[in-house]
Structure 1
Amino acid sequence: MIRITLPDGSLREYDQPLSVHEVAASIGAELASAAVAGRVDGVLVDCEHLIDADARVSIVTPREPDGLEILRRSCALMLAMAVKQLHPHAQLREGSELGDGFFYEFTSERPLSPTDLPGIEARMQALAATNHSIRRQPLPSLEKGLSLYRLGDTEYQSRGPHVPATKVLQAFALDHISGTLQQRIYGTCWSSHQELQYWQIPPKVVVVSMDDRQTAYAQAVTETLRQNGVRARADLRNEKVRYKIRQHSQSVPYLVVIGEKEQTGGFVSVRSRTGEDFGRMGVEAACQWLSQPEDGE
Structure 2
Amino acid sequence: MIHITLPDGSLREYDQPLSVFEVAASISLGLANAALAGRVDGVLVDCGFLIKCDARVSIVTSQEPDGLEILRRSCALMLAMAVKQLHPNTQLRAGSALGDGFFYEFAFQRSLTLAALPVIEARMRELAATNHSIRRQEQTPTERLSLYRLGDFEGFAAGPHVPTTKVLQAFALDHISGTLQQRIYGTCWSSQQELDTWRAPPQVVVVNIDERQSDYAHSVTEALRRRGLRANSDLRHEKISRKIRQHSQKVPYLLVVGEKEKDGGFVSMRSGNGEDFGEKGIEAVCDLLNPPKTGA
Range class of TM-score, shorter chain: over 0.9
Deviation at 1:141, TM superposition (A): 7.6
Structure-2 residue corresponding to 1:225: 224
Structure-2 residue corresponding to 1:13: 13
Instruction: Summarize the alignment of residues 143-182 of structure 1 with structure 2, pairs less than 5 Å apart.
Output: 145-182=144-181
Deviation at 1:89, TM superposition (A): 2.1
Deviation at 1:291, TM superposition (A): 1.8
Deviation at 1:21, TM superposition (A): 0.3
Structure-2 residue corresponding to 1:117: 117
Deviation digits for residues 208-246 of structure 1 (CA, Å, limit 9, x no counterpart): 111111101111111111111111000000111111111
Deviation at 1:29, TM superposition (A): 0.9
For the 8 Å contact 2:43–2:141, the answer to whether it is kept is no
Q: Structure 1 residues 53, 140: CA separation in 2 closer, same or farther (over 3 Å shift)?
A: closer
The CA distance in 1 between the partners of 2:86 and 2:9, in whole Å, is 49
For the 8 Å contact 1:101–1:188, the answer to whether it is kept is yes
The CA distance in 2 between the partners of 1:246 and 1:239, in whole Å, is 11
Structure-1 residue corresponding to 2:288: 289
Q: Structure 1 residues 142, 155: CA separation in 2 closer, same or farther (over 3 Å shift)?
A: farther
The CA distance in 2 between the partners of 1:67 and 1:10, in whole Å, is 23
For the 8 Å contact 1:107–1:181, the answer to whether it is kept is yes
Establish whether residue 205 from structure 1 lines up as the match of residue 183 from structure 2. Answer: no
Deviation at 1:287, TM superposition (A): 2.2
Amino acid at match of 1:98: L
For the 8 Å contact 2:49–2:139, the answer to whether it is kept is no
Amino acid at match of 1:82: A
For the 8 Å contact 1:228–1:288, the answer to whether it is kept is no
Deviation at 1:155, TM superposition (A): 1.8
The CA distance in 2 between the partners of 1:114 and 1:63, in whole Å, is 32
Deviation at 1:139, TM superposition (A): 7.1
Q: Secondary structure at the match of 1:243?
A: helix
Instruction: Summarize the alignment of residues 63-82 of structure 1 with structure 2, pairs less than 5 Å apart.
Output: 63-82=63-82
Deviation at 1:286, TM superposition (A): 1.8
Amino acid at match of 1:237: R
For the 8 Å contact 1:204–1:252, the answer to whether it is kept is yes
The CA distance in 2 between the partners of 1:41 and 1:23, in whole Å, is 14
Q: Secondary structure at the match of 2:187?
A: strand
Deviation digits for residues 103-146 of structure 1 (CA, Å, limit 9, x no counterpart): 00001111011000000000000000101111111276897x11
Establish whether residue 253 from structure 1 lines up as the match of residue 219 from structure 2. Answer: no
The CA distance in 2 between the partners of 1:262 and 1:287, in whole Å, is 16
Structure-2 residue corresponding to 1:128: 128
Q: Secondary structure at the match of 2:285?
A: helix
The CA distance in 2 between the partners of 1:140 and 1:269, in whole Å, is 42
For the 8 Å contact 1:203–1:252, the answer to whether it is kept is yes
The CA distance in 1 between the partners of 2:132 and 2:18, in whole Å, is 22
Structure-2 residue corresponding to 1:268: 267
Deviation at 1:69, TM superposition (A): 0.5
The CA distance in 1 between the partners of 2:140 and 2:277, in whole Å, is 52
Instruction: Summarize the alignment of residues 77-96 of structure 1 with structure 2, pairs less than 5 Å apart.
Output: 77-96=77-96
Deviation at 1:58, TM superposition (A): 0.8
Moved more, 196-205 or 9-18: 9-18
Structure 2, unaligned runs of 5 or more: none
Q: Structure 1 residues 26, 142: CA separation in 2 closer, same or farther (over 3 Å shift)?
A: closer
Structure-2 residue corresponding to 1:35: 35
The CA distance in 1 between the partners of 2:135 and 2:245, in whole Å, is 42
Amino acid at match of 1:270: M
For the 8 Å contact 2:268–2:277, the answer to whether it is kept is yes
The CA distance in 2 between the partners of 1:253 and 1:182, in whole Å, is 32
Q: Secondary structure at the match of 1:164?
A: coil
Give RMSD over aligned pairs: 1.4
TM-score (norm 1): 0.95
For the 8 Å contact 2:44–2:141, the answer to whether it is kept is no
For the 8 Å contact 1:139–1:148, the answer to whether it is kept is no
